[in-house]
Structure 1
Amino acid sequence: MNYIKSILLIILLIPTISQAELSRIYTGTIGQNKVEFYFEYDFAIYIDNKDHQVKNFDIRNSSYSTKFKSNDVKSLDKIVIENVDSLDSGPEQLTGYTFNGDKVNLQKTFEYHEYDEHSLREVEFNNIDYLQESSTKDFYFKVVVSKKKGEKAEIVGIKIYSKHDGRLIQTITGIQGCKFNSYVSIKAHKDFDFNFNGDNNDFYLTKNRNYGPNRIADYYAYDKKQQQFVKLNLDGNGFRFAHEEKEATSYKTCPGKKANDEISLIDDFQYIGNNRYKRVKTECLYKSGQYLNKESNQFEYKKERACNPKEIKACRNYIDTNDYDDY
C-alpha cells in the first residue's frame, strides 16, 4: 500500500510549538507594502501584500540578542526587527529595516497569554484572524479564533486565501470544540490528496493536539468543480491514507477495564467518490496484562481477544484528554 505514514508526516511537518502560549499580532508596513506578523515567543510568521507568501522568522538564528532577524531563504528582503522581547509582552510598536533599505513599522493589534490566570478569567475576544504556517501550492490559511471569559481560546472558523493575488476565496464557519494551536492549527503538505483527484491542495485542522496518539482532525479537500474546499466525512483518529486503494484508516487506543489493559481500534474507510467515505471494516482487539518483555525490551500483553460490541462503542466514544506534551 502506498501509505502517507503518520510517522512520516510527524517528521516532515513537526511544528515548532504544540499549542498557543504567548501569541501576538503586529500589522504595518515594510517600505510601501502592507504586512502582518504573528509572533509566538521567539518564532514568527509573516505575510505581505506583495507576493502573498507565508514566511518565517526565528530569533534563535539571529546573531543579535535584541533583534529579530529574518532567516527565511525564500525572502528576497532580509529583515531585521529591533526592540523585540521574545519572552515577555512585546512593545506596542516595532521598528526595523531591510537590507534593501526599506523601513519596517509595525503596531501591535492583538496579544493573548494562553497560561496567564488573568487572561483565562478576564480576557475575551471574537473572530481574531490568525495566520497559519502551512499552506498549499495555491492557498494560504487563517484560523478565526474566539474566547469567552473563563475559557480557553477556540477556533470557530477558517479563512482561505489565494496565493496568486491574496483574495479571500472561502470562509468556513460553524467549527466547534477546536483547540487553538497558534500558527500550527492547520497542516498542509504537497502530498496531501484526501479526495484523490490529483490536485494536492488539501489540508487538515487539528482539533485537540499535534503530538501523541488519538489526534483528532477535520479533513478538507479541494473540489475543482465547485472551486471550494469540502469537509470530508471522516470520523476517527490519526488517519493514514492509501492512495492506490483510495482508503483512509483510523487508529485509536483506549483504556481497558484494568490498569494494564488496552483497546486497539482500527477503522477502514473506502473513498466512494464525490468527497465521501464509507466505513467498510473494523478491527478491534482487547489486550490485557501488559508487561515488559526483558529479552526484547518491549511492552507486550499476556492475552488478546476480539472486542465485543459494547467495548467497540465505548472506545469510539472515548475522549482522550491526556497530556502528551512530552510525547
Structure 2
Amino acid sequence: MLPKFLPLIFALWAAAALPAAAAPGGLSVLSSASAAPLLLGESHRIHSGLLAEEREYWMRIPTAFAGETPPESVTVVYVLDGEKLFASTAAFTSFLEGSRLSSLGPTVVVGVVSGDRTQDFTPTASNARRDGTVDENAKEVGGGAESFYHFLTTELRASVESHLPQNTRVARRVLIGHSYAGLFTLNVLLWHPNAFDGYAAIDPSLWWDRGVVVARAVRAGARTVEKPAPELYVAFAAQTRPETSYHLARADDLRAKAFPVLNEQGVRTSIRFFHEEVHGSIALPGIFDALKKLFPAKPEAGSALHPASE
C-alpha cells in the first residue's frame, strides 16, 4: 500500500480551528491555484503480530535524502505519542540538523501513533492513584510495556529501516517519550539499556504503581548495560500543585538515589527542571532541550552519543 502523505500547510494547528470552507483541491481557504503543499512526512501502517493489531507511524525523511547521493549514516529518533509530538519533533530536527548549534546531522523522525497508552506504556498492572495511595475497589490496569517494547524494537524498527536507502546505515537511535511514554522510555533504559543510544524521558509519570520504576532504578539501575553505554536525559515540570508533590518526590529520588547507580554503570545522565512549565506544557521545550543536550555542537570527550552497534 502506498504511503499517505501528510501535508504540512501554513498554520498547521490553527487551520484545524478554522471553518471548513470549501476550496479547490480540498485544501483550506488559504490555498490558491499556484499553491503547493509542504510535505512533513509519510504515514505508514503495519500489522503487529506481537500486539495482534494494526499500528500506525509517521516518518519524516531528512532533506539530505533528496540529493543524488544519500548520506552514509542517519540518526533515527522515535517519538511516542506521535499524533501530538511528531510535527514539532520533525521541525526541531529539521532546524538542528543543519545548524551549528548541534551535531545532530541527517535525522529520520518516527512518530509512533498511540494506541492504548495505559496498556502500552506502563510496566506493571496497578490500581494506585497519583498520590501513591491504592484504590482497593478499582480494577488494575496497564502492564503491557514489555510487549510494546518488543514491537517497537523488532516489527516497527524493521519496517522503518526498510524505507531507508540501501547504503545508508543507522548510526544512532534515540527514544523520546512524555508522561506515560516518558515512564516507558525510562523503563526501557532500565531493562534494555542498549536498545537505544539515547533516551529522553519528559516529565515521566514516576508516580505509577507507587513509584515502581524509580524503586527499580535505585535498586539495580540498568543492570545489563554494555559499552558503549547510552545517555539519559530527563526533564520535569516543576510548577508545584498538590497532586504533583508525590510525583516530584519520586523525581528527587531519581536524581539523588538512582542517577549515582546509573552513572557508576556507565550511563551518562542529565536532568533539568522547567520551573515555568506544567505537565501539559513541558513536552515541546523538553524535547527541544533534550535534542540539544544529546547532540551538542562541540561534544566533550564522552558526552556525545556513540554509534549503534552493527
- TM score, norm. by length of structure 2: 0.26
Structure showing greater radius of gyration is: 1
Structure 1 or 2: larger helix share?
2
Determine which structure has the larger strand proportion and give its number: 1
TM-score normalised by length of structure 1: 0.25
RCO higher in structure (CA 8 A, sep ≥6): 2
